[in-house]
């Protein structure tokens, strides 16, 4: 199983975190309605984050289509890090006895249908955002990391991903920022207070570039005060290329695991 993203990440992204209390903010794609506002907040505070990319439905197309390509290239030019979120937001359902997996896509031609995949098919799905990112960004590589939709994964699926050079990135318990929860039950003020109270150094935080079901958008209403509040507490923001659990994997482009598994990368 080959990999389209084995090239090492740019050295500039591999420096140690700039403070003793780093926070690792990540964004999964969504409907992209708040993506420009999120980019403005990140640029205003000069912080770097990690984006996990999938081709999700937007108001007038897909999140990785030609309309959004300049937005992604601009974020690459700013020095953010990127990983795979699968192409069609394909979620794991269960392992099968024969070593294959039951999967279900949220978007694309197979949306809502249960599919049975082997490891090679899953690796192909992980690689599709990497290939598209190279097209949008002028040949840049994503990092050899992925986030499973919904964070759902099995040890067997993680092992399949590692064979083609990807490692799964979950989020910390306090890092679940709640932007996909119903706003009538979880208002923005409540989500902000909880995050500022519970987040600790080293936590991986997870949010989205837009959630269809949330009526009161989380970003930038919560994002800006969350960023400023964490900065006031002495935290700094870093990409996962600086995280102690992932930086060596990212620096080598996932090659070490691929070689150990007998996979040509």
CATH of the domain at 112: 3.20.20.370
Count structural domains, the chain. 1
Distance separating alpha carbons of residues 151 and 183, to the nearest angstrom: 21
Whole-number pLDDT of residue 8: 42
What pLDDT score does 19 carry? 82
Average pLDDT over residues 199-221: 95
- The average pLDDT across 154-169 equals 97
Residue 177 lies in a domain: yes
Whether the Cβ atoms of residue 210 and residue 34 lie closer than 8 Å to each other: yes
Determine, yes or no, domain membership for 55. Answer: yes
Q: Is position 33 within any domain?
A: yes
* CA dihedral (172, 178, 180, 182) positive or negative: positive
Instruction: Summarize pLDDT for 28-74 with one digit per residue, the tens.
Output: 999 999 999 999 999 999 999 999 999 999 999 999 999 999 999 99
In a domain, 183, yes or no: yes
Query: Residue 219 falls within a domain, yes or no?
Result: yes
Label each residue of 154-180 as H, E or C.
CHHHHHHHHHCCCEECCCCHHHECCCC
pLDDT of the residue at 163:
93
User: What was the pLDDT predicted at 254?
Assistant: 80
At 40 the pLDDT is: 98
**Do residues 2 and 186 touch, judged by C-beta distance below 8 A?**
no
pLDDT tens per residue, range 167-181: 999 999 999 999 999
Q: Is residue 11 part of a domain?
A: no
**pTM of this prediction?**
0.90
Nearest to 91 by CA among 45, 132, 147: 147
* Band (260; pLDDT cuts 50, 70, 90): very low
pLDDT at residue 144 above 90?
Answer: yes
At 20, the pLDDT band (50, 70, 90 cuts) reads confident
pLDDT at 262 over 80: no
In a domain, 191, yes or no: yes
- Measured CA to CA, the distance from residue 10 to residue 18 in angstroms comes to 17
Using the predicted structure, report yes or no on whether residue 264 has a pLDDT greater than 50. no
**216 lies in a domain?**
yes
Containing structural domain, residue 129? 18-260
- Residues 112-129 have pLDDT tens digits of 999 999 999 999 999 999
Mean confidence (pLDDT) of the chain = 91
Q: Are strands 114-117 and 101-105 parallel, antiparallel or unpaired?
A: antiparallel
Whether pLDDT at 196 is above 70: yes
| CA 227 vs CA 14, 82, 205: distances in Å | 22, 20, 11
């Amino acid at each position: 199983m080959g990999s389209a993203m084995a090239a090492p990440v740019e050295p500039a992204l591999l420096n140690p975190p700039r403070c003793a209390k780093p926070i690792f903010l990540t964004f999964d794609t969504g409907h992209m309605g708040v993506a420009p506002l999120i980019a403005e907040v990140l640029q205003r505070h000069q912080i770097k984050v990690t984006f996990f990319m999938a081709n999700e439905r937007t108001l007038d197309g897909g999140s990785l289509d030609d309309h959004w390509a300049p937005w992604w290239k601009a974020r690459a030019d700013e020095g953010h890090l990127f990983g795979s979120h699968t192409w069609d937001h394909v979620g794991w359902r269960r392992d099968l006895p024969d070593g294959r997996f039951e999967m279900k896509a949220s978007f694309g031609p197979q949306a809502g249908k249960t599919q049975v995949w082997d490891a090679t098919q899953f690796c192909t799905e992980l690689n599709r955002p990497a290939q598209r990112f190279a097209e949008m960004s002028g040949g840049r590589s994503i990092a050899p990391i992925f986030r499973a939709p919904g964070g759902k994964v099995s040890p067997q699926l993680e092992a399949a991903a590692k064979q083609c050079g990807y490692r799964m990135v979950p989020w910390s318990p306090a890092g679940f920022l709640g932007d996909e929860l119903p706003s009538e039950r979880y208002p923005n003020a409540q989500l902000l207070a909880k995050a500022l109270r519970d987040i600790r150094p080293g936590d991986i935080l997870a949010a989205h570039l837009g959630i269809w079901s949330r009526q009161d958008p989380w970003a930038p209403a919560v994002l800006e005060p969350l960023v400023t509040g964490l900065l006031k507490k002495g935290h700094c923001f870093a990409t996962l290329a600086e995280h102690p659990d992932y930086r060596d994997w990212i620096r080598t482009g996932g090659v070490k695991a691929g070689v150990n598994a007998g996979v040509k990368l």
